[in-house]
Structure 1
Amino acid sequence: MTLVEQLYWGGAALIALWLVVFGLALVATRNGVVTPGPATQEFGDDPEPPAVVSLLGNRWRGVEHAAAATLLDLAARGLVELRQPGDDPARSTVHVTEAGQAAPVLLAHEQRVLERVTARAANGGAPIGAIAFRDDKRAASWNTALRQEIVAEARLRGLSRFRFARSLGSALLIGAFVPGSLFAVAAVMGGHGVRAAAAVGVAPGVALVFLLAKSLRERATPKGLERAGHWEGLRSWLTAHEDFAQLPPASVAVWDRYLSYGTALGVTSLTSRLLGFDSGDRRRVWSSYGGTWRPVRIRYPRLRPGFGGSTPRLLQLAAAAAVVAGGLFAFAVLRQPDWVVAVDEGSMRRPGVVVSAGWVGVALLALAVAGKFSRWALFVAFLAMMPGNFASGGHGWFRDTAVHDGPVPVEWAAVTAFGALAAYFVALACLERREPDTVTGEVLRMESRKGRRAARFLALDEGNADVTTAWALPAASQGIATGAQVRLRVSRGTRTVLSAELVRAARPEGDRSAKGVRQDVS
């Protein structure tokens, strides 16, 4: 065995050894078994906050419902107030009390939740649905920071710890790149280039570090297991109350902190669903633009032809549709029966070949005109040729089409449809020449679309309707954020935003990421 081969085998052996050590470390650092305590209604002498109980109740894997549980706990302590004006719990409102406005000393995660509620209910209260974020990135960053603060509190109380000791984690991290170094040396000695050596040297380390990173979770302490067992007893006591799961958020006035702990432990399904601190419903957003809170339904015209298109693009699409209409009509009129005469079995000259080839060829030409031609288009075209290629004999659907005088009904339908589509695009292009309209309102949501160059959806609340249709915001536009008030110059035909002027920057929403940020529209 040569030295190069020895290096490769040595690297492979080190990878196997690393995986064995890693597996043993995972087994050795598993969470212990939580022994549920007896059913109890007692919190204990020094009860953990509901958010920390959420971490314990989820076996240290997550903090689901922690934000909702914290809000209910703040309500039970008199810092916020939840009101239900009617029979529908979804219409409940949240209000910050004088005690909450006095800026009391709170834990970090409690302060974060209170700031979010205060930002949304600053003007006399807000619907509980308005607590949800309008932006996915803000929601993700806010909830990530909330989890970090909850984990820090759990560690401070001695209930949670790092899964791996620092020395073990460092050893696994360093050891992950040792096999790759042997592979890199072997590649160089074997006459391979530097790039190849770097690739085989880095790839194993990246894969092993990925496995290591996926396992870096929290781990219970003996005290944490004991307290988790106590809260399992409270879960059992709350579960025994049949109506507890469907209690509305406003019932915190009666159930006090039990409702917050029940939400943290996943016993209450209704409050957990209504008190969302995520990105919210993308089709139904609460807005206070115009003076009063109201739900605004958003329509996204994903299948609308010409949405967000410029005049040149509309004319290009019109030309592509015209190619399909004119090409199919010309092919059907010129088609002759002797083009597709069936010959011996095995011949490529079968009745369906020319028919399907004509249709597919017209489609490919239209894709080229539309600027959508690609290798995938060729692959789909190849598959589309298969039915015609396997059609044989002197009768059948393809044969009847070949001998038909002029376009068949399906061709007439396609010619009519694409002809109308071409006229539609030309009409839109003409409408684009009109003077743009001006609309003013508050940005409710911004949604991305597939493709880097595709226009984004911008949902604007103009304050005069409960339903709005999203506009097409060019992908290159910068400086527009959800919650900002803007003045847009738009083309209503394609619903395209031509220019945007900032009227008022987005106000901080309690996510600690918008403070001090100046919004500019380019």
Structure 2
Amino acid sequence: MTLTEQLWWGGAALIVLWLVAFGCALVATRNGVVAPGPATQEFGDDPEPPAVVSLLGNHWRGVEHAAAATLLDLAARGLVELRQPGDDPARSTVHLTEAGRAAPGLTPYEQRVLDRVSARAGNNGAPIGAIAFREDKRAASWNTALRREIIAEARLRGLSRHRFAPLLGSALLIGAFVPGALFAVAVVMGEHAVRAALSVGVAPGAALAFLLGKAQGERATPKGLERAGHWAGLRAWLTAHEDFARLPPASVTVWDRYLAYGTALGVTTLTGRLLGFDSGERRRVWSSYGGAWRPVRIRYPRLRPGFGASAPRLLQWAAAAGVVAAGLCAFALLRQPDWAVAVDAHGGGSLRRPGLVLSAGWVGSALLGLVVAGKCRRWTVLVAFLAMMPGNFVSGRHGWFSDAAAHEGPLPGELAAVAVFGALALYFLALACLERREPDTVTGEVLRMESRKGKEAARFLALDEGNTDLTTAWALPAASQGIATGAQVRLRVSRGTRTIRSAELVRVAMPEGDRAPAPKQDAS
């Protein structure tokens, strides 16, 4: 065995050895079993905050409902007030009290939740649905920071710790790249390029480091397991109350901190669902633009032909639809029964089979339209070839293909297709003409912005104009910059294609309730 081969086999053996060591580390650092304590309504001396209890109740894997539980705990302590004006808990409102405006000694995650409530509630309060974020990235970063602060509190209390000790984690991380180093040396000794050696050397280390990173997390301490057992007893006591799971957020005035702990432990399902600090609903957003809070429903015209298209693009689509309609019409009118020759069982076959003739005409017309539309790709030709296969394999004197090929004049399906594509051509042509008009001007607040598939596809921009509870998203060009969720903008739009031609920033978004800077001009 040559030295190069020994390096390759040595690197492979080290990978296996690393995986074995990694598996042993996973087994050795598993969480212990939580022994549930007896059902109890006592919190105990110096009880952990509901957010920390959420971590213990989720077996140190997450902090689900921790933000909602913290909000309820703030309400139980008089810093926040939750009101339910009617019978619908979803219409509850949240208000910041005078004590909450100058609350001292809050933990970082409690201050984070209070800041979010203050940003949305202001001086007059807000619906609880307005607490949710309007951007996925913003919601994810906020909740990630919240989780990090809760874990820091749990570690400070001696309830949680790193799953892998620093020395063990460092040893596994360094060991993950040792096999790659052997592989890189073997590649260099094989007289290959240095770039290839780097690629081969980094790949296995990156894969093993990825596995190590996915396994990183928290695990319990002995004290944490003990306290988790106590809170499991409280969960059993709360679960015994059948109506507790359906309590609304405003019932915190009656149940005090029990509602917060019940939410942290996953018992109060209704309250945990209503008090969401995530990205909220895509099709229903609370807005205060215009002076009063109200829910605004959003429609996304995903299947609307011509949405977000420019005038040249509309003309191209009109030409493509017209080509398909003309091709199908010409094929249907000129087709003769003698074009299709039935296959003779003893004649060796013929390329002019009934199904092949019809498939070639229909698929050929569609391909012409795709070429004109600029959508013809390699996979398109493959799909067209596969689309002709059913007709190619059909032979004989009887059957649907044979009867259709022998039919004089256009088939009903061909007439319908010609009508549809002809109507599309006229529709795109009419939209292109409308694009030449002077654009309209609309002003409002940006409710949501969502991307679409494709880098060049226009993004959805939902705008609240303040005069309706239903809005349809506009098409914002993908290259547009300077517009963010929550900003007030003045748009010049084409209503036919719902395209935003230009955007002017009237007032920037106010993150976390900060005072808005002076308006900027020309954000297009």
> Whole-Å Cα distance in 1 between the matches of residues 153 and 467 of structure 2?
46
Displacement of 1:515 in angstroms is 8.8
Residues 506 and 519 in structure 1, CA contact (< 8 A), matched pair in contact too? no
Q: Secondary structure at the match of 1:297?
A: strand
1:470 is matched with: 473
The SS at the match of 1:318 is helix
User: Which of 422, 426, 429 is equivalent to 1:426?
Assistant: 429
Does the aligned pair in 1 maintain the 2:507–2:519 contact within 8 Å?
no
Task: Please say which of residues 336-345 and 306-315 is displaced more in the overlay.
Answer: 336-345
Taking the aligned partners of 1:290 and 1:411, their CA distance within structure 2 comes to 52
Which residue matches 2:9?
Answer: 9
* Offset from partner CA, 1:301-340 (integer Å, 9 cap, x none): 0000000010000001101101110011111122222322
The AA in structure 2 aligned to 1:467 is: L
Q: CA deviation at 1:147?
A: 0.4
* 1:152 counterpart letter in structure 2: A
- Larger mean CA deviation between 152-161 and 383-392 belongs to 383-392
Give the match for residue 59 of structure 2: 59
1:351–1:402 contact (8 Å) kept in structure 2? yes
Q: Does 1:118 align with 2:118?
A: yes
Is the 8 Å Cα contact of residues 509 and 516 (structure 2) preserved in structure 1? no
Q: 1:149 maps to what in 2?
A: 149
Contact 2:475 2:500 in 1 (8 A): yes
Q: What displacement does 1:240 show?
A: 0.3
Give CA-to-partner distance per residue, 1:433-466, whole Å, 9 cap, x none.
1111000000000011000000000000000000
SS in 2 for 1:481: coil
345 and 37 in structure 1: CA distance in 2 versus 1, 3 angstrom threshold: farther
The normalised TM-score by structure 1 is: 0.97
Q: Distance in 2 between matches of 1:369 and 1:463?
A: 42
TM-score, normalised relative to structure 2: 0.97
Tell me whether 484-493 or 179-188 shows the greater mean CA deviation: 179-188
2:213 paired with 1:213:
yes
Q: Which residue of 1 aligns with 2:378?
A: 375
- 1:390 alignment partner AA: F
Query: Following superposition of structure 1 onto structure 2, how do residues 283-432 of structure 1 map, counting pairs within 5 Å?
Result: 283-343=283-343, 344=347, 347-432=350-435
How far off is 1:200 after superposition? Answer: 1.5
- Offset at 1:519? 7.0
Question: Tell me, what secondary structure is at the counterpart of 1:475?
Answer: coil
Q: Secondary structure at the match of 2:208?
A: helix
Q: How does 1:197-208 map to 2 (within 5 A)?
A: 197-208=197-208
- In the alignment, the residues of structure 2 paired with residue 99 and residue 229 of structure 1 have an alpha-carbon distance, to the nearest angstrom, of 34
Structural RMSD (CA): 1.5
Q: Which residue of 2 aligns with 1:105?
A: 105
**SS at 2:446's partner residue?**
strand
> What is the Cα deviation at residue 490 of structure 1?
0.4
In the aligned structure 2, how far is the partner of 1:238 from the partner of 1:433? 66
Residue 319 to residue 503, structure 1, CA distance change in 2 (3 Å) = same
The number of aligned residues is: 520
Contact 2:34 2:228 in 1 (8 A): yes
What SS does structure 2 have at the residue aligned with 1:509? helix
Whether contact under 8 Å (2:36, 2:230) holds in the other structure is yes
Specify the SS of the correspondent of 1:458: strand
**Equivalents in 2 of 1:182, 1:195: separation in Å?**
15
Read off the aligned partner of 1:166 and give its amino acid letter.
Answer: P
Query: Could you say which residue in structure 2 is the equivalent of 1:278?
Result: 278
For 2:465 and 2:519, how far apart are their aligned partners in 1?
A: 23
More displaced 10-residue stretch of structure 1: 376-385 or 75-84: 376-385
* Aligned: 1:479 with 2:495: no
Cα displacement string for residues 412-438 of structure 1 (whole angstroms, at most 9, x for unaligned residues): 000000000000000000011111100
Q: 1:199 Cα deviation (Å)?
A: 2.0
Which residue of 495, 499, 502 corresponds with 2:502? 499
In the TM superposition, residue 212 of structure 1 has moved relative to its aligned partner by 0.3
Gaps of 5+ in 1: none
Number of the residue aligned with 2:243 = 243
How big is the shift at 1:379?
Answer: 2.5
Tell me how far apart the structure 2 counterparts of residues 14 and 123 of structure 1 sit (CA, whole Å).
63
The match for 1:139 is 139
- 1:461 counterpart residue number: 464
CA contact (8 A) 1:367 1:373 kept: yes
Paired AA for residue 289 in structure 2: Y
Residue 448 of structure 1: aligned partner: 451
Letter in 2 for 1:17: L
| Alignment check: 8 A CA contact 2:308 2:498 kept | yes
Letter in 1 for 2:325: A
Contact 2:328 2:414 in 1 (8 A): yes
Cα offset for 1:103?
Answer: 3.6
Residue 492 (structure 2) aligns with:
489
- Aligned partners of 2:256 and 2:79: how far apart in 1? 13
Question: Residue 277 of structure 1 aligns to a residue in which SS?
Answer: coil
1:369 Cα deviation from its structure 2 partner: 1.1
Give 1:31's aligned residue: 31
Counterparts of 1:42 and 1:59, CA distance in 2:
21
Q: Distance in 1 between matches of 2:348 and 2:66?
A: 71
Preserved contact between residue 57 and residue 228 of structure 1 (Cα < 8 Å): yes
Q: Which amino acid aligns with 1:359?
A: W
Q: How far 1:406 moved relative to its partner? A: 2.1
The question of whether the paired residues in 2 share the 8 Å contact of 1:94 and 1:128 is answered with yes
The aligned amino acid for 1:308 is: G
How far the C-alpha of 1:63 sits from its partner, in A, is: 0.3
Matches within 5 A, 1:69-84: 69-84=69-84
For the Cα contact (< 8 Å) 2:508–2:516, is it kept in 1?
Answer: no
State the secondary structure of the residue aligned to 2:16: helix
Matches of 2:17 and 2:58 in 1, distance apart?
33
Q: Counterpart of 2:62 in structure 1: which amino acid?
A: G
Distance 1:476 1:519, change over 3 A: farther
The separation in 2 between residues aligned to 1:401 and 1:177, in whole angstroms, is: 66
Mapped contact 2:133–2:279 kept (Cα < 8 A):
yes
Deviation at 1:190, TM superposition (A): 1.8
Deviation by residue 1:80-137 (Cα, 9 ceiling, x = unmatched):
0000000000000000000001142200000000000000000300000000001111
Shift in CA distance, 517/436, structure 1 to aligned 2, threshold 3 Å: closer
Query: Which ranges in structure 2 are unaligned for 5 or more consecutive residues?
Result: none
Identity of aligned residues (%): 82
* Mapped contact 2:177–2:204 kept (Cα < 8 A): yes
Runs of 4+ in 1 over 3 A off after TM superposition: 344-349, 514-520
